[in-house]
Structure 1
Amino acid sequence: MSDYVPEPVESGGGGTVPIGVEEEFFLVDPDTRLVAAAGPAVAARAARAVGELVTEEFALCQVEGRTPPCRSAAELRGHLQRVRAALVAAARAEGLGLCASGTPVLQEPGPVRVAAHPRYQAGRAQYRSMMDDFAISALHVHVHLPDRELAVMTANHLRPWVPLLIALSANSPFERGRDTGYASWRSVLRSRFPCLGPPPYAVSLQDHERLAETIAGTEAMLDAGMPFWDLRPNPRHPTLEIRAMDVLQDLDDTVAVAVLLRALVVAAEGLARRGDPGPAWPGEVLRAACWRAARDGWRDEGFDPVTGRSRPVTELAQQITAFTAEALEEAGDLGEVTALFGRLAGRGDGAARQRAWAAGGGSTAVVDRLVLATAGPHGERG
């Protein structure tokens, strides 16, 4: 739930627009495989290596890693590797593993233990028992877009792509040892909140802010200045932030999703600059489409952002690639995105991988394999 991203430098065109990434992880005990409330200790230890690029998170069993602004996929990959390595090493030093899953596979009964940050405590007080099982780990991508008015208009074009983003990142089928039947249970947990999910369609920045203030007035939103919609002009930094995705196991998938989202923002920003207001899909339609994406993930069919009809997700992959192709080619990222969709076609989403591991060894095997996948190629060392 952190909203931090370092201040980006000025961009020099579509292919060089800076991007930044935030990844949230669970900490797990290697013996019990339960999540462990050691976030502050692990974050403090990792900070010795990478400074402010790591932090605590909402739940005490979580930590967050983040990158500085990056202009290329290679630069982003290098920072992600460095930050993940620091968190993996810090977790191991505390006798724990680092786990990239949208929800905890195993955890003790009872309410989630929350960090002492005043905003987290305020959320607990406002939403009460809705927060009892709110331990979720996300991938957030920031794309440099300092014009907040333009960011709102760009978000209008991104709104109907949110279901596809949920589908391709689905990585949370389990919670507290049970298979939920969903590919992204994290998305379901978020959907209970009236202030989470796709943002409302807004005709201007003033309209966007008025909607947030009205919702905050009902106490359904904690702070009108810091809405937690899936898309938002970041409250403190000159970026459009995309928040719909589960954290991903594979670092290469994270890089590919980030550069895809940069290209999506660049393409949509171009339409917004030309005065195209974007498709005004009702929030109810998008929430329904997000629900199906959370249930099915990267299989079967999904929501077509243009027609609203269901289409095979493989066709939606082709559609988003075609829409973003010019920006991807300009940035040299088309290969990253093509490879991502190839991996999804071959092995499925993160939820499919977790279920395959469970079939071979149960919940403990899922946790063990997630810890190895999070650490990357050197995960079996140390």
Structure 2
Amino acid sequence: MPLEPFSTSRALTLGVELELQLVGTHDFDLVAAAPDLLRVLEQQGFVGDVKPEITSSMIEIATGICTGYTDVLEQLTALRDGLLEGARRLDIGICGGGAHPFQLWGERQISDSARYQHLSDLYGYLAKQFTVFGQHVHIGCPGPDEALLLLHGMSRFIPHLIALSASSPFVQGHDTGFDSARLNSIFAFPLSGRAPFVLNWSDFEGYFAKMARTGVVESMKDFYWDIRPKPEYGTIEVRVLDTPLCVERAARLAALIQTIARWLMVDKPFVPAEDDYLVYAFNRFQACRFGYEGVWVDPESGERRVLGDAIVALVNRIGPHAAVLGTQVACAALANDAATRTNDAMWLREHYSADPLLPELVRRQCLRWAE
């Protein structure tokens, strides 16, 4: 199957997807309620993009095409409120967070769709372990070559986004020591990681054709890269963020990505190179494991910085573009989080330390999601 043509889209438009946890309100473990919730939402005339995910204790919501931070926040808030109304009818809870703190992967149920059943047959237990929850952000690109240039430029800042969004310190009842343990589940898949380094669409089409001829892939959905092009939308899709605990943080993260993208498109502060990826896996691991305190190695200069400080410096550098886009407040709030070493992983650990019962922690996550 050939790669579909790259669609036309307006540069720097946004689309946001959030994968959310469905939990029982008696024990706050994950519950296989997605089919029932989708039926109730249809009955209540829910307006918005909502769909099942790979296991039936997950649900995904998605905005339409947004122009900026305010638009994203308004759409996510409306989606959240409609989803909560349906959840109340079923007496289930909904929350953010990159991983459920104590669910057992073996108890999960694969969704009924043919695609998800195929993935279960292909990947075995990894499919159930894929019950993790992420935020995906699409950025509109003026053309396919520009999309690839933006993809590889944005890759330099993947650790920054991981640290800011990290919300998965607990897995199967234990503190993993990672700020974002969710990404470890994704790294297990053979087609995860980074995209190949090509900077023009014809070369990318050639790469895809070779992969398709092997039978390994059929579409872009088969790649679980940290950032991937989405030709049917005319976007690149940033996929490394944990689902935040509240919609406001999700909107802020989208605003930061939009601002970085404008800086890369307009100023062209550097030319991406294959050698940028020499430190990619190291930087990404440091962000997942240590969050803001991780080491970030500048791929161009080799300078080593504490990641939290590097985030503050980045936000300061892209300030003029935030002013143009109206994202100053959102970006400044994230810079302050980096300076004070505040993220959702810290919030989860602090609340667990005060009351070390994981079901109670999930209950608090549900309350925060509804704020």
CA deviations over 1:96-128 (Å, ceiling 9, x no partner)? 110101111122461531112222222222222
- Cα deviation for residue 87 of structure 1 reads 1.3
Q: Which segment drifts farther, 281-290 or 332-341? A: 281-290
Task: Give distance in 1, aligned partners of 2:131 and 2:145.
Answer: 33
Task: Give distance in 2, aligned partners of 1:237 and 1:176.
Answer: 36
CA deviations over 1:62-88 (Å, ceiling 9, x no partner)? 111111112232222111111011112
1:369 correspondence with 2:364: yes
Instruction: Name the structure 1 match of 2:34.
Output: 39
1:58 correspondence with 2:54: yes
Instruction: Name the structure 2 match of 1:290.
Output: 284
Q: What's the secondary structure of 2:192's corresponding residue?
A: coil
Q: Contact 2:29–2:359 (CA<8 Å) still a contact in 1?
A: no
Task: Give distance in 1, aligned partners of 2:247 and 2:33.
Answer: 23
CA deviations over 1:333-376 (Å, ceiling 9, x no partner)? 11211012213444621111111111122212210111111112
Instruction: Name the structure 2 match of 1:355.
Output: 349
- Cα deviation for residue 225 of structure 1 reads 6.5
Calculate percent identity across the aligned residue pairs: 24
Q: TM-score of the superposition, structure 1-length normalised?
A: 0.87
1:319 correspondence with 2:317: no
Cα 1:10–1:301, aligned 2, differ >3 Å: closer, same or farther? closer
Partner amino acid for 2:366?
Answer: V
Q: What's the secondary structure of 1:132's corresponding residue?
A: helix
1:92 correspondence with 2:92: no
Task: Give distance in 2, aligned partners of 1:348 and 1:205.
Answer: 39
Instruction: Name the structure 2 match of 1:169.
Output: 165
Instruction: Name the structure 1 match of 2:131.
Output: 135
- Cα deviation for residue 43 of structure 1 reads 2.8
Task: Give distance in 2, aligned partners of 1:55 and 1:110.
Answer: 23
Instruction: Please point out which of 18, 21, 24 is paired with 2:19.
Output: 24
Task: Give distance in 1, aligned partners of 2:217 and 2:292.
Answer: 31
Instruction: Please point out which of 273, 293, 302 is paired with 1:299.
Output: 293
Q: What's the secondary structure of 1:59's corresponding residue?
A: coil
RMSD, aligned CA: 2.4
| Unmatched segments (≥5 aa) in structure 1 | 1-6, 12-16, 377-382
Alignment of structure 1 residues 1-382 onto 2, 5 Å: 10=10, 17-47=12-42, 48-108=44-104, 110=106, 112-215=108-211, 221=217, 223-224=219-220, 226-270=222-266, 277-281=271-275, 283=277, 285-346=279-340, 348-361=342-355, 362-376=357-371
Q: Contact 2:105–2:128 (CA<8 Å) still a contact in 1?
A: no
Q: TM-score of the superposition, structure 2-length normalised?
A: 0.89
Size of the aligned set, in residue pairs, is 363
